[in-house]
Structure formats: structure tokens, C-alpha cells
Amino acid sequence: MNYHALDVIGVRVEIPSNQPIVLLREIGGVRYLPIWIGAVEATAIAFAQQGVTPPRPLTHDLMKDVLGALQVSIDSIHLTELKEGIFYSLINLKGGVTISSRPSDAIALALRTGAPILASEALLGDAGIEIPEQSDDEVEKFKEFLDQVTPEDFAG
């Protein structure tokens, strides 16, 4: 299967639904991948992006610590498909072990461990959106994007 590397642009809350969304961008490409996520995972992703270290480990920090204690590392995260409005992903550990995961949890772990985030061509073809290059300001592009889409756009 063909995979493309992604960067996490950021997390925002979509108005008026108050639904958190994480937006990823294809590295070296023009497609963006929006994934609606839960509030806890949105916080976990935002904390990792901002370098926030909580006083006690949150769930994703704990998972990173457990993997480290076991001397196991994450090779990559694969965002694989969108089926009946639900995104699917895999956490690929070094040594060949693969674990099914929600994309939001996989992204939160990837940001903490530096593991690459990859999306299948099939997923980018189904759910990827091209955002015109109107501005170098990614925040503005993200806001424009959010004004144009709803979770129902991906129910398919």
C-alpha cells in the first residue's frame, strides 16, 4: 500500500458544533486531512504540539513511558481508511507488531515519540481536501477550511 507523510497543522474546535478537529497536511503535497476527534484527544494533541508537560502523566504520556520502560519504540503511524464515517489507523512498533488504534490516539503518541505519521493514498483520496494556496498563513487556511466543511462531509 502506498503511504504519504503528514504534518499535524493543529487542533481547533469547529463552530457551531463545538467538535474538535485535527488537521494534517501532506508533506510535499497539496492535500489536507481533517479528522474530527474527542475533546480529551484534542487536548493531548495540543499539549504535545505546545510542549506542555503535565505534573503527572496523561494517558498518552503514560503509554510513551510504558513503551520506553519495555524498550519498545514506535516505527510509524498509519492512517489507513475511512469506513462508514469512522477513521482507522495502526500503530506500528519496531519489530513488526501492529496495533489497531483510533487516529487521535495514534497522532497523540506520534507527537510524543517523534514517529512519522503516514496516510494511505486511499484515505487521502477519499477524505483528503485540497486547500488553495491563498496565503502563507496556515492558521488562516485552517480557518477558511473549517468554514467550508462539516463532519457530515465525511459520513460517507
Say if residues 87 and 79 touch (Cβ distance below 8 Å): yes
The pLDDT tens digits of the residues spanning 112-121 come to 999 999 999 9
**Residue 17: its pLDDT value, please?**
80
CA quadruple 31, 9, 77, 127: dihedral sign: negative
Residue 95, Ramachandran bin (φ over 0: left; ψ between -120 and 50: alpha; else beta)? left
Percent of all residues in the chain with a pLDDT value above 90, rounded to a whole number: 65
pLDDT at 156 over 50: no
Average pLDDT over residues 75-92: 96
- Say which amino acid occupies 93: L
Say if residues 154 and 103 touch (Cβ distance below 8 Å): no
Spatial CB neighbours of 6, under 8 Å, sequence gap ≥ 6: 24, 25, 26, 27, 33, 79, 117, 118, 119
pLDDT-derived band at 137 (thresholds 50, 70, 90) equals low
Average pLDDT over residues 103-113: 96
Task: Pull the grid cell for residue 84.
Answer: 462508514
CA atoms within 13 A on the CB side of 4: 19
Say if residues 45 and 22 touch (Cβ distance below 8 Å): yes
Give this prediction's pTM: 0.84
Percent of all residues in the chain with a pLDDT value above 70, rounded to a whole number: 84
**Residue 16: its pLDDT value, please?**
79
The pLDDT tens digits of the residues spanning 17-60 come to 888 999 999 999 889 999 999 988 999 999 999 888 888 988 99
Domains with residue ranges and CATH for the chain:
3-154 (3.10.690.10)
**Mean confidence (pLDDT) of the chain:** 88
How far lies 53's CA from each of 2, 33, 56, 96, in Å? 35, 27, 8, 30
25: how many CB neighbours lie within 10 A of its CB?
21
